[in-house]
Amino acid sequence: QTRNAKLAGASLAPISVGIPCLLFIALLHLRNGYAVAACVQSHSAAHCSSSISMPAMRRARRWTVAAAMFITCTTGLQAPAIRQAPRTLRHATLDSTVLSCGASRPKTALSNVEISEFVDTSDEWISQRTGIRSRRVLQPGESIADHAASAAQKALDRSGLDPADIGLVIVATSTPEDLFGDAANVADQCGCKNAVGFDITAACSGFLFALVTASQFLESGTYDAALVVGADAMSRWVDWGDRNTCILFGDGAGAVAIKKGGAGLLGFSMGSNGAGREKLALPYNGNRLPLIGGKSATVVGPRAMLMEGRSVYVFAATTVPRVLREALEDAHLTVDDVDWFLLHQANERILEAVADRIGVPKDKFIINMDENGNTSAASIPLALDFAVKSGSVKKGDVLACAGFGAGLSWGAAIFRWEGELLQ
């Protein structure tokens, strides 16, 4: 139990390369001064299975020890002094520029009126409490990975980058098409033959976490360009008989292309608090499967999202203003320097509460949840694409973005838009 310290947590796939990738990401954050110590843990017994030989395991163990020594030698692992509030360790500008964006949504729209035909609710009840009027829903045979690839391809085409220039593809998702990860598939579909791809799971904070992670790789000089994707298929995991959750969520994907250099990611801040994980969760539900000799295993059973709506609202309304201020402070900016606030599109009432707490008019907030619903990790890049296409966001504008959700987790990033108007 670590107290009075800044923590951010995320999961990474695929499992076969998870530990080396996680260690490298941890090293990047340590090297760039965002943390003084990191803990990397594997949750999969597959690392000890036949997929990895014993000599390979011994090599991995030596690699892990060497990495741990590197962390110790370069950071000292000296516990920081107790702070009054969580803060980043230094000015967090990273050497990466957001060049372009792209989006992809299922064609099938499901309106509030249609939902009211099978759930005890109404269009007025939903729209007044959430600002949502419709959402897109994947149909049988439709793939969220294909939408992720489509969004990434659009961002790549608009960036002016060659697919061969992309060294990294990160997909932020909690609902991948393939449980072992969609990023390698996305990289392949986009023709990024030189790219390494992996998924990050941090729910509605996922896109912000992925953007910061990719920017760390660019800052370190490991890669020159990357694609960052947020994609989620929330309709597959809600209880369609629960009016408290099924009315909120939709499906979609959004992406940005980033490159090393330029205006830079001006500031960021991230955090998480696992003590609140039960407020918004999708827990494993296993059915017992008898094997032999009284031994058994569990196999996946039916499961659906659990959410305490009021608790999540209070969490978001109090945490998001703070993390935005932290990121702005790291960027040496104030709310008056921001052209647009781009928050996770969870609930319009949350955005109104945040606007009130930071003293900014609501018309400076990009909002498009009315037609998309809450698309989790996809919501920020989807809204960015909408705002750029509409001409609201223009080249040179400063955007303050914030994600928040399950974990509980939260993050914010400040960047200057360097893309062109989309036709």
Q: Give me the residues paired with residue 307 across strands.
A: 280
Please identify which of the residues 204, 246, 347, 372 carries the catalytic annotation. 204
Structure-block tokens of residue 6: 């800044």
Cα–Cα distance between 269 and 322 in angstroms, integer?
A: 10
Give 405's strand partners.
409
- 3-state secondary structure string, the chain? CCCCCCCCCCEEECHHHHHHHHHHHHHHHHHCCCCCCCCCCCCCHHHHCCCCCHHHHHHHHHHHHHHHHHHHHHHCCCCCCCCCCCCCCCCCCEEEEEEEEEEECCCCEEEHHHHCCCCCCCHHHHHHHHCCCEEECCCCCCCHHHHHHHHHHHHHHHHCCCHHHCCEEEEECCCCCCCCCCHHHHHHHCCCCCCEEEEEECHHHHHHHHHHHHHHHHHHCCCCEEEEEEEEEHHHCCCCCCCCCCCCECEEEEEEEEEEEEEEEEEEEEEECHHHHHHEECCCCEEEEECCCCCEEEEECCCCCEECHHHHHHHHHHHHHHHHHHHHHHCCCCHHHCCEEEECCCCHHHHHHHHHHHCCCHHHECCCHHHHCECHHHHHHHHHHHHHHCCCCCCCCEEEEEEEECCCEEEEEEEECCCCCCC
Q: Give the pLDDT score at 306.
A: 85
pLDDT value of residue 278: 86
Q: In 3D, which of 302, 288, 402, 395 has the Cα closest to residue 351? A: 402
Going by C-alpha positions, the residue among 204, 250, 244, 246 that lies closest to residue 344 is 204
Assess contact for 204 and 146: CB atoms under 8 A.
no
- Residue whose tokens read 């801040």: 269
Which one of the listed residues 112, 190, 344, 347 is annotated catalytic?
Answer: 344
Cβ contact 404:279 at 8 Å: no
| Token digits of residue 309 | 């709506």
Task: Write down the residue that tokens 């000599």 correspond to.
Answer: 55
C-alpha distance from residue 209 to each of 248, 307, 403, 404 (Å): 23, 22, 9, 10
Query: 142: which residues sit within 8 A by CB, 6+ positions away?
Result: 106
Tokens of 266: 């001006």
Is-contact 362 351, C-beta < 8 A?
yes
- In this prediction, residue 85 carries a pLDDT of 45
pLDDT tens-digit readout, 164-200: 999 999 999 999 999 999 999 999 999 999 999 999 9
Low-confidence stretches of the chain (pLDDT < 50) are 1-7, 14-16, 36, 43-89
Structure tokens at 100: 């372009």
Instruction: State the Cα–Cα distance between residues 419 and 100, nearest whole angstrom.
Output: 5
* Omega of the bond leading into 408 within 30 degrees of 0 (cis): yes
Q: Which of 180, 254, 206 is nearest to 10 (CA)?
A: 206
Q: How far is residue 44's CA from residue 9's CA, in Å, rounded to a whole number? A: 17
Q: How far is CA 333 from CA 88, 92, 329, 361, 398, in A?
A: 15, 12, 6, 18, 10
The whole-number pLDDT of residue 18 equals: 55
**Nearest-angstrom CA–CA distance, 50 and 109:** 45
Phi first, then psi, for residue 127 (nearest 5°) are -65, -35
Is 374 assigned a catalytic role?
yes
What is the model's pTM? 0.80
CA quadruple 75, 76, 82, 83: dihedral, nearest 10: -20
Residues shown for the chain:
423
